Chain A
């Protein structure tokens, strides 16, 4: 079974802090994704990566950056956390082509 592991289930940070969310997958997937999930809005794509050191902006990249130094790891960075970034963050990965995405359990991030 594919395993996508997010480093924290719950995280509480203060405004202005630099926040790192880590995601690791064990299936040698080329593609990795970061989403945020808010009630009534479904999942919105923040960034994705289709190869090591490659990244593409999604629909809501403002205030975020990402890093993919190794194939199995994809990090989401909040450069200066703000209260409107309080949300559930989901990481996903997939093979190339038409294969479905596999999701981690999510990180519920609160910015105070």
Chain B
């Protein structure tokens, strides 16, 4: 069955440090890939998406993600974290030709001063 794994339940990063959040998926073909962010008490906001083409995609708020087919991964990165980035981050996979999107369990990011 298709699945999305975010191995880190939570991560703590110092403000100004770099960030990488991991995401692996299990699916027979290349799916559509997304990263969302959820601030406390809010819905999910789309950070970036990958459909095809260049495997390094840029998103909002200075985030980027790299698709690696050989590793079935789609890791999210940011070179310098700001305190306002503290939130929960969800990786999601949408199966090609279908309606369904599968979400990972999320990674909560804490930012320390």
Q: Find A40's partner among B32, B43, B103, B105 (CB 8 Å cutoff).
A: B105
CB of A98 within 8 A of CB of B94, answer yes
CB of B43 within 8 A of CB of A42, answer no
List the A residue with the shortest CB-CB distance to B108: A39
A100 vs B94: C-alpha distance when bound (angstroms): 9
Known interface pairs A42-B90, A105-B41; A100-B46 also in contact (CB < 8 Å): yes
* Chain B interface category by residue count: 20 to 34
Q: Find A104's partner among B34, B43, B101 (CB 8 Å cutoff).
A: B43
Please give the residue numbers on chain B whose beta carbons come within 8 Å of chain A beta carbons, in ascending order: 4, 9, 32, 34, 36, 41-46, 49, 51, 90, 94, 96, 99-101, 103-106
Please give the residue numbers on chain A whose beta carbons come within 8 Å of chain B beta carbons, in ascending order: 4, 9, 31, 35, 40-43, 45, 48, 50, 56, 58, 90, 92, 98, 100-106
